[in-house]
Structure 1
């Protein structure tokens, strides 16, 4: 196989790749680099995890570094369009360590966060903009960015942008770029509205198809667990309590939120990712999952495309997806870049026909097992000792939001992650809640000669502190498998779920 140097990458870029541990090109990169580096328009098709990101990042960096022009305020030299904020962020993360040695600057543009820092970076001048269509179009209309200096335009996950209805915006953005510029389109599939973009904006493109979305991944095992509806949560608790990272998919945002609460209540460190969260909360929760602070990420299909976290050992379809393409993209979060992984689909009696059709269309022949909690197969699918975290007690004090979106347990002097301007509002809301609960407590307490109504402030505070400090009696658990986790989940409403929910709500408020 050719090396990056043999494919034509400049020496500084090859050296920068080596510092990232990347020394050999993937097939999609080896196939496309000779044409992309030569300035040809290229269509690159490869399944998720096949290395498409470096397939377009490397020629963009190489050609900009070799070009005679320099960056100008508000006029980027390269544009990369992505369908989701998380994907845009990950593309930027791939670019930055390679761009610095070349003297190039990059930034992201997407909604859900303040536009002012983005405007400032555009005004200062950047070489590469990685953007979601909506916010970029806003900046174009307001005059903060012009695309007339763009030399290379990249559409990543173009089919997903078509599915999300972004094509009209994408066409307007593409129309604003010079027609003489190079266009690269990388995607897992080349269907739907992608053909419209190809015919309208690409000039005699070279097609490279490596590992289509339908190609089976040899290092990925597929299992369908046929179970009763009441056994869904105990089985999930068993699988997610094992060591390693697990990504759990649900169909709806409300299901993702509810399931996260239940897992946290069962002692499984979990965070959620879906469209109802503000960008700050989404970023915080994804970082918690990436760092290992939370072993489990419960997500909608917002995480099915482009999200890359190293060493996801297990993907669980808690709700089977509707389309086979969604199944393939979800499953592609594991067994990436040659690693191994396991995909598990939970199926009830009512879902048998749908799951059978789903796997057939996806070209997958899974192993189907009928089971319940405690079945030996669960330990094979997710090996290792099951561990459960201690759920914190309910605390009516203002929540100090940690990186996971959960409230850390106490401690004076620990600074809240919330912005300063929001802390007063959080304290007032929390104190208001505490006052209401104290009033309810006083009204429910029998009085003697009116003394009960004249309880001292100190006594009230002491009682509240005692209640807040009291640990959950059933919170301390060690290994014991699904039965222990399920029993605990059924016997209590954990403060951990409330703390987590408060953290994510706070994050969502801050981002609005």
Structure 2
């Protein structure tokens, strides 16, 4: 199968040829014809399998072939993304795919000045990629209009439809025309998300090119149990022992990112970090330097779990396990992309056993454990399996209690001094009374 056989037009085929794309991936092979036919779509596929091209290529073709010229402050296709990094990357991909087409594309997100974005929207945009919060800001200031909207795409739909985005999405949906094509693309879909998405789509086609919520088979995964207080020490030990060259590490909190980066930099390691508190320009600069191999270790919160595409990234380290199990799939999906192999190591302490069990249930596999010498945890991480069970060791049988009398005798019997003779206790005999008549009065 070729991209030409999917019905794509020549300007798109030339762009793909420039990129060296010869054969469509499974998700592209199924999604492109469906989108070209105007179908609503739910597509689930492993991360790194080409989902962006799966919706971007047919979307661009439909805009070229159908509909009027875009009016001022209007958009014809809207792509919603959960993070700034993903929005920027999706926009770049769309721009490259459409380099031979007379279409205007743009990306808007928070963390940067809104004024240049408002100026750009005045000319009208054919394809707008946006994060929900900034899009609402622009809409409420009348900087963007949706009367010409033909296509809505939710990229990483599981996160977009999460409760954290529910209010923003509800406001956006209320402003969109009811007659539109809606596409949901993601690596993971929970059952509740699927039910919710089903209410938004019109007779959707469902595509699943691989088992749901399963990490790519090209990624070798394992767990290293460790005490929580020794995680940083273990990270540095493994970095030196295994001679890590380029590593993307995920920490749970912003403070955790900053602390690990500071410790690594103190050792002379070229490291940097990204999280939501840092300005967008600073985050982008760190990503660009990491992609250019100028930074050896990039530490991030889950802002980098989705959409970060790095050629030949060899290793992902979960310094902390994610709170949401689906984010594990996205984190380790930053390696082993496009058929390449990769490794994913998780440093797990006893407090994270329930998170580990949730990940193993989601991915339907029990992760191998490898204890590192001299780092064996004092607080053991209980065994888990893919059923989601925490396997507890059987409790030791309790010794039978010796009943004891109250008072001094009971204390004496509880004594551990075995050299003392056992007491001789005679039973107290109760003498019955035979005088049942009335008591005589004393004279």
Q: TM-score, normalised by structure 2?
A: 0.79
Q: Classify the secondary structure of the residue corresponding to 2:20.
A: coil
What corresponds to 1:89 in structure 2?
88
State the shift of 1:283 in Å. Answer: 1.2
What corresponds to 2:321 in structure 1?
320
Are the aligned partners of 2:214 and 2:363 in contact in 1 as well (CA < 8 Å)? no
What corresponds to 1:396 in structure 2?
none
Return the alpha-carbon distance in structure 1 between the equivalents of residues 138 and 297 of structure 2.
36
Return the alpha-carbon distance in structure 1 between the equivalents of residues 88 and 111 of structure 2.
13
Gaps of 5+ in 2: 377-443
* CA deviation map 1:182-239 (0-9, x unaligned): 1111122333445334313x21111111124433522111111123456533432244
State the shift of 1:39 in Å. Answer: 1.1
What corresponds to 2:380 in structure 1?
none
User: How many equivalent pairs are there?
Assistant: 373
Deviation larger for 282-291 or 82-91: 282-291
State the shift of 1:161 in Å. Answer: 1.6
Instruction: Rate the CA distance shift 1:270–1:49 in 2: closer, same or farther, 3 A.
Output: same
What corresponds to 2:106 in structure 1?
107
In the TM superposition, 1:140-151 aligns within 5 A as 140-151=139-150
What corresponds to 1:293 in structure 2?
294
Instruction: Rate the CA distance shift 1:34–1:280 in 2: closer, same or farther, 3 A.
Output: same
Q: Classify the secondary structure of the residue corresponding to 1:359.
A: helix
What corresponds to 2:206 in structure 1?
207
Are the aligned partners of 1:235 and 1:373 in contact in 2 as well (CA < 8 Å)? no
* CA deviation map 1:394-438 (0-9, x unaligned): xxxxxxxxxxxxxxxxxxxxxxxxxxxxxxxxxxxxxxxxxxxxx
Instruction: Rate the CA distance shift 1:354–1:72 in 2: closer, same or farther, 3 A.
Output: closer
- Given the alignment of the two structures, is residue 122 of structure 1 paired with residue 121 of structure 2, yes or no? yes
Q: Classify the secondary structure of the residue corresponding to 1:124.
A: coil
* Alignment root-mean-square deviation, CA: 2.1
Instruction: Rate the CA distance shift 1:212–1:122 in 2: closer, same or farther, 3 A.
Output: farther
- Given the alignment of the two structures, is residue 14 of structure 1 paired with residue 7 of structure 2, yes or no? no
State the shift of 1:240 in Å. Answer: 4.1
Return the alpha-carbon distance in structure 2 between the equivalents of residues 361 and 207 of structure 1.
20
Q: Classify the secondary structure of the residue corresponding to 1:77.
A: strand
Return the alpha-carbon distance in structure 2 between the equivalents of residues 197 and 353 of structure 1.
28
Instruction: Rate the CA distance shift 1:351–1:138 in 2: closer, same or farther, 3 A.
Output: closer
* CA deviation map 1:244-274 (0-9, x unaligned): 3211111111001110111111122111111
What corresponds to 2:130 in structure 1?
131
Return the alpha-carbon distance in structure 2 between the equivalents of residues 353 and 374 of structure 1.
21
* CA deviation map 1:63-90 (0-9, x unaligned): 1122252222111111101111110000
Q: Classify the secondary structure of the residue corresponding to 2:338.
A: coil
Are the aligned partners of 2:105 and 2:126 in contact in 1 as well (CA < 8 Å)? yes
Are the aligned partners of 2:270 and 2:295 in contact in 1 as well (CA < 8 Å)? yes
Instruction: Rate the CA distance shift 1:167–1:374 in 2: closer, same or farther, 3 A.
Output: closer
What corresponds to 2:151 in structure 1?
152
State the shift of 1:329 in Å. Answer: 1.8
In the TM superposition, 1:23-62 aligns within 5 A as 23-62=22-61
Return the alpha-carbon distance in structure 2 between the equivalents of residues 304 and 86 of structure 1.
10
Asked which structure has the greater CA Rg, the reply is 2
Are the aligned partners of 2:45 and 2:212 in contact in 1 as well (CA < 8 Å)? yes
What corresponds to 2:275 in structure 1?
274
Instruction: Rate the CA distance shift 1:216–1:79 in 2: closer, same or farther, 3 A.
Output: closer
Instruction: Rate the CA distance shift 1:75–1:208 in 2: closer, same or farther, 3 A.
Output: same
Return the alpha-carbon distance in structure 2 between the equivalents of residues 269 and 234 of structure 1.
17
Return the alpha-carbon distance in structure 1 between the equivalents of residues 77 and 351 of structure 2.
49
Are the aligned partners of 1:222 and 1:364 in contact in 2 as well (CA < 8 Å)? no
Instruction: Rate the CA distance shift 1:6–1:226 in 2: closer, same or farther, 3 A.
Output: same
What corresponds to 1:248 in structure 2?
249
Instruction: Rate the CA distance shift 1:164–1:82 in 2: closer, same or farther, 3 A.
Output: farther
Q: Classify the secondary structure of the residue corresponding to 1:186.
A: strand
Instruction: Rate the CA distance shift 1:230–1:216 in 2: closer, same or farther, 3 A.
Output: closer
What corresponds to 2:432 in structure 1?
none
Q: Classify the secondary structure of the residue corresponding to 1:165.
A: helix
What corresponds to 1:196 in structure 2?
196
In the TM superposition, 1:384-403 aligns within 5 A as none
Return the alpha-carbon distance in structure 2 between the equivalents of residues 190 and 374 of structure 1.
37
What corresponds to 2:303 in structure 1?
302
What corresponds to 2:439 in structure 1?
none
